[in-house]
Amino acid sequence: MSTLVTPFTDKRMAEIVEKVQNGVRLSVEDGVYLYQTDDLLTLGQLANEANLRKNGKKVYFIENMSLYFTNVCEARCAFCNFRKDQGEEGSYTLSGAEMIDYVEQHIHPGVREFHIVGGHNNHVPFQYYVDSLRALNEKYPEVTLKAYTAAEIDFFTRISGLSIKEVLQELQKAGLKSLTGGGAEILSDEYRKKMRVDKANVDRYLEVHRTAHNLGMRTHTTMLYGSIESYEDRVNHMVQIRELQDETNGFMVFIPLSMQPKSKSASIMRRNSAYEDLKTIAISRLMLDNIQHVKAYFINIGPQLTQVALSFGASDVHGTIVREKISHAAGALTPEGLTRKELIWLVKGAGRIPVERDTFYNEIQVYE
């Protein structure tokens, strides 16, 4: 039975409500309309219904730690403030031993996952990236390695001469268990040209994940929104992810990432509104009917809006993270990480049930 309480007179919204409640897949036109409507409450309630059918009141998080082996990058994406040139002040490239030293200083009991991304550093060979994972895997065999974006995998094919499959197989031998979702940005080659996304194009991004899924890996995927893209660009992005999921069923979670300005002092007008963030999470939940989870990423939207997002279709709040760097280099004003206790408080404060998970959404502990 419907839990919708918002009265609406808009015929178009009524048609979408009927579609969702009857399990009929939404079209691109439906998704664009949902971005255009000002009926935020009906949209939120509809996404909440869709999420409750999939996940009940459970909201997932993981004890994880973000690691960055290098910030040296050949790409010069217009939105990135993390990258450095080789030799530039603040640039670094850590060895496996140096990263282990860093982890030893900052790791806390219960960490189950290393979330590893970094620059496209063409001053080191592909073997460096393999050895980096191997060093961590040998030191912390109990911690899952979720490493590299599809764009990084594509970059590895260019510096190694290997195919996507061969690159992934070499990394799997070193301990890789899952790919991160980054590098998607907006899946439009026109957007990527305008935003100087000097890395994997749309086809290559999707092909990396397709190949990973065919090798037995389950992966994550993202969308970076809030710059020059249109509503149609965003919805088309979701549809391309949905179509690949129909083919492989390899995505575990979709992560809408709210674009950050390049400076922490940037005005409120240079940031996405809370209204836009909630809409995007809700529309993601409704469009991506074949992906189990939609994540509210507190690093980009803040802990309090993350709580609200749990009533707008989100079923995951990411994890403890420990010193996030990429969004904060681009002007994020949020905490660099949260503790397990804080995440549990955040979820319970939204009237939901916190569930500690592993990388693959196996439940570790339910905090009733």
**Phi and psi angles of residue 49, each rounded to the nearest 5 degrees, phi first:** -60, -45
- Cα distance between residue 359 and residue 252, in whole Å: 9
- Cα distance between residue 239 and residue 246, in whole Å: 10
Query: Is 155 annotated in some ligand binding site?
Result: no
Query: In this predicted structure, what is the pLDDT of residue 322?
Result: 59
Query: Is 190 annotated in some ligand binding site?
Result: no
Whole-angstrom CA distances from 256 to 71, 266, 293 are 23, 21, 11
What is the spatial order of strands in the sheet that 353-357 belongs to?
A: 316-319, 58-62, 353-357, 363-366
pLDDT tens, per residue, the chain with 368 residues:
455 556 656 899 999 999 999 999 999 999 999 999 999 999 999 999 999 999 999 999 999 998 998 988 887 877 777 788 888 998 999 999 999 999 998 888 889 999 999 889 999 999 999 999 999 999 999 999 999 999 999 999 999 999 999 999 999 999 999 999 999 999 999 999 998 888 899 999 999 999 999 999 999 999 999 989 999 999 999 999 999 999 999 999 999 999 766 555 555 556 689 999 999 999 999 999 999 999 999 888 988 999 999 999 999 998 876 554 444 444 444 455 678 888 899 999 999 999 999 999 999 999 98
Which conformational region is residue 117 in: left (phi greater than 0), alpha (psi within -120 to 50 degrees), or beta?
beta
- Cα distance between residue 321 and residue 306, in whole Å: 15
Query: Is 312 annotated in some ligand binding site?
Result: no
Query: Is 196 annotated in some ligand binding site?
Result: yes
- Single pTM value for the model: 0.91
Instruction: Enumerate residues 6+ apart whose C-beta is below 8 A from 113.
Output: 62, 63, 64, 65, 143, 144, 145, 146, 319, 358, 359
* C-alpha torsion sign, points 324, 327, 329, 333: negative
Query: Is 77 annotated in some ligand binding site?
Result: yes
Per DSSP, the residues of 305-328 read HHHHHTTTT--EEEE--SS--HHH
Query: In this predicted structure, what is the pLDDT of residue 197?
Result: 85
Instruction: Enumerate residues 6+ apart whose C-beta is below 8 A from 160.
Output: 125, 126, 166, 167
- Cα distance between residue 6 and residue 42, in whole Å: 6
Architecture of domain 26-366: Alpha-Beta Barrel (3.20)
- Cα distance between residue 234 and residue 239, in whole Å: 9
Query: Is 363 annotated in some ligand binding site?
Result: no
Instruction: Enumerate residues 6+ apart whose C-beta is below 8 A from 22.
Output: none
